[in-house]
Amino acid sequence: MTISRGLQTALTMLVLSVLIAPTAGCGLFSRSKEKPPEVSQPATPPLPAATPAPPPPPRRPSGVRIADEEKLKTLIQGKTTKEEVRGLFGIPQEVVLAPGIETFIYYRETSSGWISRTTERVETLAIRFDAKGVLKDFEYRYSGR
């Protein structure tokens, strides 16, 4: 009777695992009843109470346009902050950093069709902030219906 090389290797591994496993003490199957010695740790001072983190900005529901005319009218150059923008439009899909300028980019594509997808509308909103986090300018573009 001949045994293939792969089967011989598998049988050897099985026999070794049965022989070695009971003595290895691998946690769950360990036969050891001894408890590990406890190590005393020096007392650490309690941490000061942390202030709770502000809630994350809301996410834009699917199927909703990025911006309408009323939201865009609330963007005021030199006054609107990054936090206010996040409150209006949610978390940006991209944040681009350049020296002295930070840009939030929001984009959305609406498409239809099961087999062949057809793009119906594409929207992009780019909002630029100065080094202080105040609105420098913005650009809203869309195509489609």
Give me the pLDDT at residue 135, please. Answer: 96
Query: What whole-number distance in Å separates Cα of residue 108 and Cα of residue 85?
Result: 17
Tell me the CATH number at 140: 3.30.1450
Residue 23, burial from CB neighbour count under 10 angstroms (0-12, 13-18, 19+): exposed
* Range 113-137 average pLDDT: 90
User: Are both 84 and 24 inside the same structural domain?
Assistant: no
Best CA proximity match to 103, nearest among 95, 91, 111, 115: 95
Band of pLDDT at residue 130, cut at 50, 70 and 90: very high
Give me the pLDDT at residue 117, please. Answer: 79
Give me the pLDDT at residue 137, please. Answer: 95
Is 38 a domain residue? no
Q: In Å, what is the CA distance from 92 to each residue of 5, 28, 77, 85, 120?
A: 58, 47, 19, 9, 22
Is 42 a domain residue? no
Q: In Å, what is the CA distance from 43 to each residue of 10, 38, 64, 127?
A: 52, 15, 54, 50
Band of pLDDT at residue 132, cut at 50, 70 and 90: very high
Give me the pLDDT at residue 112, please. Answer: 81
What's the predicted TM-score (pTM) here? 0.54
User: Are both 85 and 135 inside the same structural domain?
Assistant: yes
User: Are both 123 and 75 inside the same structural domain?
Assistant: yes
Is 64 a domain residue? no
User: Are both 133 and 80 inside the same structural domain?
Assistant: yes
List, for residues 24-79, the tens digit of each pLDDT value. 455 555 555 566 666 666 666 666 777 777 676 555 555 556 778 888 899 999 99
Counting the structural domains of the chain, the total is 2
Q: Is the pLDDT of residue 125 over 70?
A: yes
Q: Provide the domain limits for residue 11.
A: 1-30
User: Are both 77 and 137 inside the same structural domain?
Assistant: yes
Please give the residue that has the higher pLDDT: either 89 or 8: 89
